[in-house]
Chain A
Amino acid sequence: MNKPFNVLWLQSGGCGGCSMSLLCAESPDLISTFELANINLLWHPSFSEASGVEFVDLLQSIINGDTQLDALCLEGSAMRGPDGTGRFHMLSGTDKSMMHWLQDLSQHARYTLAMGSCAAFGGITAAGNNPGDACGLQFEGTHPGGILGAEYLSTAGLPVINVAGCPTHPNWITETLMMLADGQFSSDDIDQYQRPRMYADHLVHHGCPKNEFYEFKASAEKPSDLGCLMENMGCLGTQAHADCNTRLWNGDGSCLRGGYACINCTAPEFEEPGHAFSKTPKIAGIPIGLPTDMPKAWFVALASLSKAATPKRLRENAVSDHVVVSPSTRSRSTEKK
């Protein structure tokens, strides 16, 4: 057997939701996935037995070079406050801030990964007045930098890999780790914000169950309506980089399948959209945000055309919580007429 791929998972200024999501990995389940891909969890806050002193000894042995660290994973934002001290998150039992631990450990990691949008860009923890002075490992919102700096490369020569999402999908994590363990992941596999392209080259719009409503601009007006959520309800699915509606969550789910708007949670600064999350900002009745790669004039022209052509079925179903008008069925006898 080859040497195992050693993974260390740390948490800082986040909610632990990416770990909870990770536990839902499927086909195969999480423990089997790691076993079969020869991935060895050196330590994870939710699974490992080691606590306290044993854990701190492990961190020290990585820094001393006695334990190989293949993947350093951070979940949650790096906390720089107050006043750059990092004291908003001291690693328990060490009298040293997590920010400083991360800066030290990252020098010994073959790959460094940000698990979720907090660790990647700052995320929700950096919202509002950013009380914790939170940022990502290598980004502060859309700006390169973070606590490791824009120039940082892990020992294998890659920048931080941002498995962004709030939370991140369990299989975005497992597939990224499996590709790394297999030596099948290079700098060509990440996008401008260093997200794995295997999911970031898709849009949430792809496979959206509301696509027919979108085509005819038959829009929802209130929560639980079936219609497209873009015009009124703040949905950013046509701009959001992720495969949520083709990969699906917790079995058959996704935000759109759950009847609520995509808030573009894989993007830097999603936490401050500049408007209420569930209300689409408009100018002269036209939504400000356009679908990705769509020329504005075309969008406006097509939208008004398709709105004029909206069938009754879509117009009525769009503002209902159940299908009230079924698609018509063409029988052979009616076709002959």
Chain B
Amino acid sequence: MTKRIVGPFNRVEGDLEVHLDIEDDHVKSARVNSPLFRGFEQILQGKDPMDALVYAPRICGICSVSQSVAAAYALAKAQGVTMPENGELATNLILANENIADHFTHFYLFFMPDFAREVYAQESWYESVTKRFKAVTGTASKDALPARTEFLHIMGILAGKWPHSLAIQPGGTTRAIEAQERVRIAAILAQFRRYLETTLFGDQLETIIALKDNDQLKAWANEAPAETSDFRLFLHIADSLDLDKLGRSVDSFMSYGVYSRDGSQLFNRGLWKDGIHALNIEDITEDLSHSWMSGNDEPQHPYTGITMPDINIVEAYSWCKAPRLDGQVVEVGALARQQVNGHPLIRALVEESGGNVRNRVIARLLEIALVLVEMENWCRHLKPKEIFCNHAVMPEVTQGYGLVEAARGSLGHWLTVKQERINNYQIIAPTTWNFSPRDSNGIPGALEQALVNAPVRNGEKDPVSVQHIVRSFDPCMVCTVH
């Protein structure tokens, strides 16, 4: 058995270190360390509750809007205010703009460049992948980056800027747009659709959305050469490297649900564990047994949890706490969201091979198509002459929680207010779930389990299979510990 420390990882958001025990040619066990602590939960203590709208997005530059939305929802519950229809639509558009841009960035900049590594030089697809996806020099960075930038012009119209906008409020948004701005947004969406249909998918979004199972997916992939679309090229690589057998985790999937409109959600809330279940958020706790955190002996619900760093905890190996749902490990992200919501293709792929590297990437790309079509719909329903924001006052003593789905999964904020000040603020981010350390029962987190049995090639210092598995979760480490 050999021990190896892998890190720093780049092309993940923030800092990450993975400790591996390697036996023969595979990983026997893994410990995941989030090596950066900043302390937002302490920073927020004692502040005016509305200041959370300034601090929370700055937890993370890539999930900035998701953090804003979670804070705004928590404040809305605390105030007892709801958004008018325009406010909901604008919030959904801003959030979707970030989430889709994040999926897109992940695929082009973070995930695919690993297949242009020297280790794959003998593969039949190596030349085309290198030409397209090689970090910095590949053609993808020349066309995908400008496409992303143009797509994020929606932020300039609806949210002032990205990241770190103050446009999202508990009662709606600060920017009531006019008719000419609505058609501009529609035009930007149409332009981005064109990129997706010509370059990412090489087919209509509706065709991708309509795929129902692995046979249909394979048939679609084989309709044209792999080089005709970035998605086809990925499916070709996934097939040749058996990415559907890499990085399987717990196969329990959680989603808070997201994109609220008129009392319902576009993607439903729920838990998948050998079937669909209602999600009871009262069952969420955080365990500190392997974190450099002192305080509670028993795992706490976030309303009562505290964040007190302590470098002297002997058992600890990460700044990350270990969130659990009814004591269980769950996986979150696009795959979990679509599994819970019941997209036929995802349900079929998970039925066949569970949560794995290939399925996580497919779910993300599918979601780009699904959500873009919905953005077009939301945009059509904006009513330029009507209000975008309701208003309310903050009670002296109150509490509230905000649940949202960021690109990388379930994000929750829990807030209590006393004497008009923040008394406690606890955050559980998507990668806190996925990259959690062990809990007091010694059960490893979702990534730690996914890394077990990852193959290690002869002489590899930074095993490429570990790189793929880690990045398949699209980790956001700055959110994880915050």
B58 to chain A, nearest CB (A): 4
- The answer to whether A258 and B36 touch across the interface, beta carbons within 8 angstroms, is no
Report which of A29, A41, A82 forms a contact with B309, defined as CB distance below 8 A: A82
Residues of chain B lying within 8 A (CB to CB) of residue A14: 61, 478
Report which of B153, B389, B462 forms a contact with A251, defined as CB distance below 8 A: B153
- The answer to whether B160 and A259 touch across the interface, beta carbons within 8 angstroms, is yes
- The answer to whether A254 and B8 touch across the interface, beta carbons within 8 angstroms, is no
Stretch at the interface among B139-147, B294-302, B349-357, B398-406: B139-147
Report which of B50, B110, B153, B154 forms a contact with A278, defined as CB distance below 8 A: B50
Interface residues of B in 153-211 (CB under 8 A from A): 153-167, 169, 171-176, 178
Q: Give the docked Cα–Cα distance between A191 and B293 (Å).
A: 41
Stretch at the interface among B10-18, B218-226, B336-344, B444-452: B10-18
Q: Give the docked Cα–Cα distance between A167 and B309 (Å).
A: 27
Instruction: Report if A256-B160 is in contact (Cβ < 8 Å); known contacts: A47-B136, A129-B42.
Output: yes
Number of A-B contacts (CB under 8 A): 272
- The answer to whether A93 and B14 touch across the interface, beta carbons within 8 angstroms, is no
- The answer to whether A92 and B7 touch across the interface, beta carbons within 8 angstroms, is yes
Residues of chain A lying within 8 A (CB to CB) of residue B46: 128
Q: Give the docked Cα–Cα distance between A16 and B15 (Å).
A: 10
Residues of chain A lying within 8 A (CB to CB) of residue B110: 46
A54 to chain B, nearest CB (A): 8
Residues of chain A lying within 8 A (CB to CB) of residue B149: 23-26, 29
A302 at the interface (CB under 8 A from B): no
B448-464 interface code vs A (CB 8 A; 1 in, 0 out): 00000000000001100
Q: Please classify how large the interface on chain B is, using the bins under 10, 10 to 19, 20 to 34, 35 or more.
A: 35 or more
B6 at the interface (CB under 8 A from A): yes
- The answer to whether A32 and B17 touch across the interface, beta carbons within 8 angstroms, is no
B31-61 interface code vs A (CB 8 A; 1 in, 0 out): 0010111110011111110110111001111
A68 at the interface (CB under 8 A from B): no
- The answer to whether B8 and A132 touch across the interface, beta carbons within 8 angstroms, is no
Instruction: Report if A48-B58 is in contact (Cβ < 8 Å); known contacts: A252-B156, A258-B167.
Output: no
A247-269 interface code vs B (CB 8 A; 1 in, 0 out): 01111111111111101010000
Residues of chain B lying within 8 A (CB to CB) of residue A52: 6-9, 461-462
- The answer to whether B164 and A127 touch across the interface, beta carbons within 8 angstroms, is no
A43 at the interface (CB under 8 A from B): yes
B27 at the interface (CB under 8 A from A): no
Instruction: Report if A20-B61 is in contact (Cβ < 8 Å); known contacts: A131-B42, A250-B153, A256-B160.
Output: yes
- The answer to whether A15 and B59 touch across the interface, beta carbons within 8 angstroms, is yes
Q: Give the docked Cα–Cα distance between A245 and B4 (Å).
A: 50
Instruction: Report if A258-B161 is in contact (Cβ < 8 Å); known contacts: A16-B14, A250-B152.
Output: yes
- The answer to whether B17 and A92 touch across the interface, beta carbons within 8 angstroms, is yes
A53 at the interface (CB under 8 A from B): yes
Q: Give the docked Cα–Cα distance between A16 and B480 (Å).
A: 13
Closest to B18 in A: A92
Closest to B6 in A: A52
Residues of chain B lying within 8 A (CB to CB) of residue A252: 153, 156-157
Instruction: Report if A127-B43 is in contact (Cβ < 8 Å); known contacts: A17-B60, A21-B163.
Output: yes
A91 at the interface (CB under 8 A from B): yes
Instruction: Report if A46-B10 is in contact (Cβ < 8 Å); known contacts: A20-B163, A248-B156.
Output: yes
- The answer to whether B136 and A20 touch across the interface, beta carbons within 8 angstroms, is no
Instruction: Report if A24-B152 is in contact (Cβ < 8 Å); known contacts: A15-B60, A16-B478, A92-B15.
Output: yes
- The answer to whether B36 and A253 touch across the interface, beta carbons within 8 angstroms, is no
- The answer to whether B142 and A31 touch across the interface, beta carbons within 8 angstroms, is yes
Q: Give the docked Cα–Cα distance between A12 and B478 (Å).
A: 10
Residues of chain A lying within 8 A (CB to CB) of residue B45: 128-129
Q: Given A250-B155, A260-B160, output 15 extra A-B contacts at Cβ < 8 Å.
A: A17-B64, A21-B163, A45-B10, A47-B141, A88-B38, A90-B17, A128-B45, A223-B389, A224-B176, A251-B156, A258-B166, A259-B175, A276-B48, A277-B48, A322-B176
Residues in B lying within 8 Å of A, measured CB to CB? 5-11, 13-17, 33, 35-39, 42-48, 50-51, 53-55, 58-62, 64, 105, 109-110, 113-114, 116-117, 134-136, 141-142, 145-146, 148-149, 152-167, 169, 171-176, 178, 309, 311, 319, 384-385, 387-389, 391, 461-462, 467, 478
Residues in A lying within 8 Å of B, measured CB to CB? 11-21, 23-26, 29-32, 41, 43-56, 79, 82, 85, 87-94, 124-125, 127-132, 134, 166-167, 222-224, 248-261, 263, 265, 276-279, 321-322
